[in-house]
Amino acid sequence: MSAIISFISRALKALVKSKAFFLLFTLSLVSAIAIAACSNEPKASIPSNPATIESKTESKSGTQKDAMTPSHNKAKININEAILSELDKVEAKLGIAGLSNKIQAARPYTKVEDLVTKKVVTAEQFAQIKDMVGTETIELTGEAKDVDYLTKLGLMKGHMIVAKELLDLQKPDQALPHIEHPVEEIYADVEGQLKERKVKEFKQPLMDLQQLVKSKPNDPSIAAKYNDAIASIDSAIAAIPETQRQSPKFSLQVINTILDTAGTEYRAAIANDKIKEIIEYQDSRGFTIYVEQLYKSIASAMEKQHPDVHKQFTASLEKLKSAYPSAIAPDKPVLSVADMAELIKGNEQAATKVYAKS
């Protein structure tokens, strides 16, 4: 055995000194590097250029954008994320007072059926709303995202408009809920977008006004605090370029979404031909007044480019406004829920003619 080992040792030493061994070693080293490179290929394919990632995101989101515009308001209501005004559509559908708050309090939900297992609604009630609710988060992009952003700020303005009316009527107790809703119900939903759009956050001015009306309802500085809050919301709205806000197609999407919410609030306010829920009536009034203000920004373009639709919209808004003779709710509704729903539906159908030509 020792003789065999000695022979192999001498042979290896001779081979190491030869050119053949050097060549064989080099080829082996190159092969090893090549194999290692192949095995790392997936890591190398991760895009290091942010522009590449953005491009893929845009491509994926483009489909979502197409699917959401202009009728994104018809998407399912996310019961984990929707603001109370959106959840009010579920409440109105079932006619259960306070259901929106109950849905919000029972969050989170892993699936819509949890509404039943958490005893928010019964199985029979769930059957009536299952097609209008969901738990899937849809990431809005492009115009659909802008519409959503301006719609939520518009709802804030609507709350604040009716709050101002009530303050002027020396009704701070009735004004307070409408001052609270923008900061407690809606602000969190736009907070992320404010950062993305580099808009100064304005939660504090809203809270300052809220605290002052709550603690000192007759303080003369309320007017200044109110103006600060309104100026902050207007600054956030200005993040949408003026040319876009004056686009009939864009603004009509916002208008119809807010009107849809106004109709839901109006429906929730009325029971047995009486206005039972005063806050919902006032919400509906504030939203409709803001819609009228928003429509004025596109009225000239509508009259010139879409005269028939313009005529219908202006007539419809006049009739809708007649539903709210004052910020103080009347005992009986002036306009029936069915008539209001018909007017809002007519506006949505008319808007499709504008979308088609845009």
* Inter-CA distances, 209 with 176, 178, 202, 226, 288, Å: 9, 11, 12, 6, 23
Structure letter (DSSP) for residue 182: I
Which two three-digit tokens encode residue 54?
């953005």
Which ranges constitute the DSSP H helices of the chain?
Answer: 2-16, 19-39, 41-44, 50-68, 84-94, 99-105, 114-117, 123-129, 142-168, 172-181, 187-196, 203-215, 222-237, 242-245, 248-269, 278-296, 299-305, 307-321, 337-357
pLDDT given at position 86: 84
SS3 164: helix
Give CA–CA dist 350/129, Å, rounded.
Answer: 27
Q: Torsions phi, psi of 187, nearest 5?
A: -55, -45
The gap from C-alpha 310 to its chain's centroid, in whole angstroms, comes to 27
Using an 8 Å Cβ cutoff, are 266 and 179 in contact? no
The gap from C-alpha 160 to its chain's centroid, in whole angstroms, comes to 19
How large is the C-alpha radius of gyration of the chain?
A: 31
Strand partners, 271: 274
CA-wise closest residue to 239 among 150, 169, 127: 150
Q: What is the pTM of this model?
A: 0.74
Q: Tokens 């700020």 identify what position?
A: 153
pLDDT given at position 295: 96
**pLDDT tens across the length of the chain (358 residues):** 554 455 555 554 544 444 544 444 444 444 444 444 434 433 333 333 333 333 333 333 333 333 334 444 457 899 998 888 788 889 888 888 889 889 989 999 999 999 999 999 999 999 999 999 999 887 888 999 999 999 999 999 999 999 999 999 999 999 999 999 999 889 998 999 999 999 999 999 999 999 999 999 999 999 999 999 999 999 999 999 999 999 999 999 999 999 999 999 999 899 899 999 999 999 999 999 999 999 999 999 999 999 999 999 999 999 999 999 999 999 999 999 999 999 999 999 999 999 887 7
Name the amino acid, one letter, at 83: I
Q: Is 170 left (phi over 0), alpha (psi -120 to 50) or beta?
A: left
The number of residues making up the chain comes to 358
Give CA–CA dist 292/160, Å, rounded.
Answer: 15
Give CA–CA dist 305/295, Å, rounded.
Answer: 14
